[in-house]
Amino acid sequence: MRGIIRLGDRHTHGGNVISASGADFAGKPVALVGDKVSCPKPGHGINPIIEGNATWLMFNTPVAVDGCKCACGCTLISTLPTVGSGNMSLL
């Protein structure tokens, strides 16, 4: 599975994840669909994460993973290597 997105991870527009409502994983909270990113591109500002892994849930919400999109069109970049596999429901 692609790497999990956590608080502080970057995205392709040069910003980062600023909210993460999931449980901690490897010392940082996990970002879920609906959590926010900051985007430095003019007019973008604060945007929600709009994609996640539908088979990997935390608190019944998809976990954001490497390659998922945000509302501003950026792509999330994980600081973790690939993790786990298959259908997982966490918490």
| Domain of 65, in residue numbers | 10-80
Q: Are 37 and 15 in contact, with CB atoms under 8 Å apart? A: yes
Tokens encoding 77: 């970049």
Cα(57)–Cα(59) distance, integer angstroms:
6
CA dihedral angle for residue 35, residue 63, residue 40, residue 8, rounded to 10 degrees: 90
Cα(77)–Cα(50) distance, integer angstroms:
14
Average confidence (pLDDT) over 8-35: 97
Model pTM score: 0.88
Average confidence (pLDDT) over 55-60: 95
In a domain, 19, yes or no: yes
Residues 6+ apart with CB under 8 A from 67: 2, 75, 76
In a domain, 86, yes or no: no
Number of structural domains in the chain: 1
In a domain, 68, yes or no: yes
Asked if the model's pLDDT at residue 90 lies above 60, the reply is no
In a domain, 32, yes or no: yes
In a domain, 87, yes or no: no
pLDDT band for position 84 (50/70/90)? low
In a domain, 33, yes or no: yes
In a domain, 2, yes or no: no
Report the chain's mean pLDDT, rounded to a whole number.
91
In a domain, 25, yes or no: yes
